[in-house]
Amino acid sequence: MELEEFVKTLPKRIAMKAYRCESLFDVMMLFEAEGIDYPEDLIAGTFFVNPIRCPYCESVNVVEIVNSDGSEGYRCLDCGQLFTI
């Protein structure tokens, strides 16, 4: 099972922490610490590939936008905030 899919089934508090992890090992340590039963076939998949997350709510649901002045930024589809990296 892909980590991304599994994280979506977790309580938001735990999911937020998972999004801050930098490796599958870190995430597994988090699950152990929180007492979360995770699938044995858990794979990182694309979880750590997309580094762009909303700085306001940690969502990966972000889209690239081009501002009227030509500069590039991102919009979070979950909380609506605009941000640049």
Closer residue to Zn ion, CB minimum distance, 16 or 57: 57
Closer residue to Zn ion, CB minimum distance, 11 or 70: 11
Nearest to 59 by CA among 77, 82, 83, 85: 77
Q: How near is the Cβ of 57 to Zn ion at its closest, in Å?
A: 3
> What span, in angstroms and rounded, lies between the C-alpha atoms of 60 and 56?
11
Closer residue to Zn ion, CB minimum distance, 28 or 75: 75
Binding interface with Zn ion (CB under 5 A): 54, 56-57, 59, 76, 78-79
Q: How near is the Cβ of 77 to Zn ion at its closest, in Å?
A: 8
> What span, in angstroms and rounded, lies between the C-alpha atoms of 61 and 21?
17
